């Protein structure tokens, strides 16, 4: 079961990579590098043909991964390969619901457990539509993460709480994923209000964090930082060594 690293006094680092981009072998080496860089949880993207929440970088990554023939079975095999190295870092699958539906919910849960997945974040499955599936995940000792946006109505929070997610992922801005030059000026206030509404649930922040300086700032009021597009871009464009160095710089910024 995915649990938040409660013993950490600082904000945790959650890097995102796309499985199969630029190749499955590169993804495998990237996970090893992130483990060595002391990441706390890894978000592993499942490529999908219509990723509505993703910006240009992750959209391109998904397209390349799909051309490489990456599907859920290959994602599961990738995680198994990682687990065979006795690497225990929590891995959360970042996916859209369509691949899960096509695979079959029950089969997906069985294979996720078998191959060492700790939790799931389904981008386009809100609590109202997914409560039965989320309950299945919990019954099978698989964690899940729920997205919260600045526009999420507070009247929905009771349902969020009843589902008992592993943690909440707050979308820092109303846009697709991708690096941004600056953070929202209202982000601190929004996070403080969210934590007031969810005093017993940890909240991480993602969408747009691209520099260690931004991560350090957000870490003052968030429980964790998610960094995606910048890492994805660096892995494909500059290689494993630069990717690992960037990950280390984010880890250092949160210490």
CB 234 within 8 A of CB 243: yes
The total of other beta-carbon atoms located within 10 Å of residue 22's CB is 18
DSSP states of 105-173 as a string?
HHHHHHHHHHHT--EEEETT--HHHHHHHHHHHHHTT-EEEEEE-TT--GGGHHHHHHH--SEEEEESS
Greatest pairwise CA separation for the chain in angstroms: 46
Calpha distance 25→126 (Å, rounded): 33
CB 252 within 8 A of CB 213: no
Residue 73 bears catalytic tag: no
Q: Which of 25, 36, 40, 43 is catalytic?
A: 43
| Residue 108: both structure tokens together | 């997906």
Residue 63 bears catalytic tag: no
Print burial letters for 64-100: b (CB count within 10 Å at least 16), e (below 16).
Answer: bbeebebbbebbbbbbebbeeeebebbbbbbbbbebb
Give 36's strand partners. Answer: none
Q: Which of 40, 54, 118, 223 is catalytic?
A: 54
Calpha distance 172→52 (Å, rounded): 16
Q: Which residues are annotated as catalytic?
A: 43, 54
């Amino acid at each position: 079961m995915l649990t938040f690293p409660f013993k950490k006094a600082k904000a945790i680092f959650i890097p995102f990579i796309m499985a199969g981009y630029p190749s499955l072998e590169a993804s495998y080496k990237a996970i090893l590098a992130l483990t060595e860089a002391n990441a706390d949880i890894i978000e592993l993207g499942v490529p999908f043909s219509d990723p509505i929440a993703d910006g240009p970088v992750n959209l391109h990554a998904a397209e390349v991964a799909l051309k490489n023939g990456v599907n859920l079975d290959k994602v599961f095999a990738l995680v198994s390969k990682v687990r065979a190295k006795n690497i225990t870092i929590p891995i959360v699958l970042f996916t859209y619901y369509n691949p899960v539906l096509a695979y079959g919910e029950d089969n997906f849960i069985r294979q996720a457990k078998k191959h060492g997945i700790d939790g799931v974040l389904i981008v386009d499955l809100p609590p109202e539509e997914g409560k039965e599936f989320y309950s299945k995940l919990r019954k099978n000792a698989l964690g899940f993460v729920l997205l919260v946006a600045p526009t999420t109505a507070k009247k929905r929070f009771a349902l969020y709480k009843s589902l008992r997610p592993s943690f909440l992922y707050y979308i820092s801005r109303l846009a697709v994923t991708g690096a941004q030059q600056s953070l929202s000026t209202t982000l601190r206030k929004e996070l403080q209000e969210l934590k007031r509404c969810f005093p017993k649930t940890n909240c991480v922040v993602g969408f747009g964090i691209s520099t260690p300086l931004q991560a350090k700032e957000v870490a003052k009021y968030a429980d964790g930082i998610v960094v995606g597009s910048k890492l994805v871009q660096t892995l494909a464009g500059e290689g494993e060594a630069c990717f690992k160095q960037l990950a280390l710089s984010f880890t250092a910024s949160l210490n």
